[in-house]
Amino acid sequence: MTLKRFSKEYKTYGEWLKAEPRSSEYARRIIRFHERFPTLSLNELRNTRLKDHDLSTSSWNGLSSQQKRDRKLSLQILRLMRKGVPYSKAVEKTGINKKDIIRNLGKYLYKSKGKWKVTTTDRIEVEMLIYEKDAGQISIVTTNSKDRTLIGLYFNAINRALKTGDSSLLKRFIDIHITDVNGTKHFFVTDLERLYEINEAQEEPEYLDIYQS
């Protein structure tokens, strides 16, 4: 595939970068944006606004089915990198297109000294399964990484409690709740017998630890 010309004067970004010192705020902005959007021309970079290429602030319910899938995979990138996995390895594990990762993670993925890094927390919406005290198994839209981590820890505790019969593993979740995107509070099921009932009612029970981030 033939790359499009970077600008009228320069065939490639590399030529533009080396032509003169690029220390002005304008030049630094172009460099930052090129790192995120390497296929754009100089004119496109000049007129780019991050929000035009950023889905991280979009509501979960406003996304298409494919966009929801991409967001979930991108959140796996965040999780892996927060655990110390290099960006390239995290991308390899999930298989998602790098362009889609950048669009979905927005400001929570950034470059520092030439290396991709992620923030320690985020406020990205995503739908997750929980066991709610009154409603049983339901899906809610969470709004941040702190709640995703809590839900992941909760399901891991459930997994261990159901296998061992040790209800004490669930004590830390008593009276703990998650507030969903609509502001509704959801308290966790912590009664072991009730959890056995919910578990047995599922055809293919899963213990979701993928959102610990």
pLDDT tens figures, 139-163: 999 999 999 999 999 999 999 999 9
Question: Residues 146, 179: one domain?
Answer: yes
Residues 91 and 107 placed together within one structural domain of the fold: yes
Query: Is-contact 101 77, C-beta < 8 A?
Result: yes
Which residues, at least 6 apart from 41, have a Cβ–Cβ distance to it below 8 Å? 4, 5, 6, 7
Q: Which of 33-42, 68-77, 159-168 has the lowest mean pLDDT?
A: 33-42
Could you say which of 74, 90, 118 is where a domain stops? 118
Residue 177 lies in a domain: yes
Are 148 and 100 found together in one domain?
no
Tell whether the model's pLDDT for residue 206 goes beyond 80: no
Residue with tokens 């966790």: 188
What's the confidence (pLDDT) of residue 181?
96
Answer with the one of 84, 102, 118 that is the final residue of a domain: 118
Q: Which residues pair with 116 in a beta bridge?
A: 111
d(CA 29, CA 51): 15
Using only the alpha carbons of the chain, give its radius of gyration: 22
Give the whole-angstrom CA distance, residue 5 versus residue 9: 9
Do 119 and 140 form a contact (C-beta atoms < 8 A)?
Answer: no
Beta bridge partner(s), residue 112:
115
**151: containing domain:** 126-201
Residues 142 and 194 in one domain: yes
Residue 191 domain-assigned (yes or no):
yes
The total number of structural domains in the chain stands at 3
How many C-beta atoms surround the C-beta of residue 138 within 10 A? 13
Decide if 157 is inside a domain.
Answer: yes
Instruction: Decide if 213 is inside a domain.
Output: no
Tell me the C-alpha to C-alpha distance, in Å, between residue 125 and each of 22, 51, 68, 186: 37, 16, 10, 16
Q: Report pLDDT digits (tens) over 88-138.
A: 999 999 888 888 998 899 989 988 888 999 999 999 999 999 999 989 999
User: What is the C-alpha to C-alpha distance for residues 150 and 194, in angstroms, rounded to an integer?
Assistant: 20
The answer to whether position 196 is within a domain reads yes
Q: What is the pLDDT of residues 34-64, one digit of tens each?
A: 877 778 888 888 887 766 668 899 999 999 9
Flag whether 206 is in a domain. Answer: no
Q: Which of 71, 99, 118 is the last residue of a domain?
A: 118
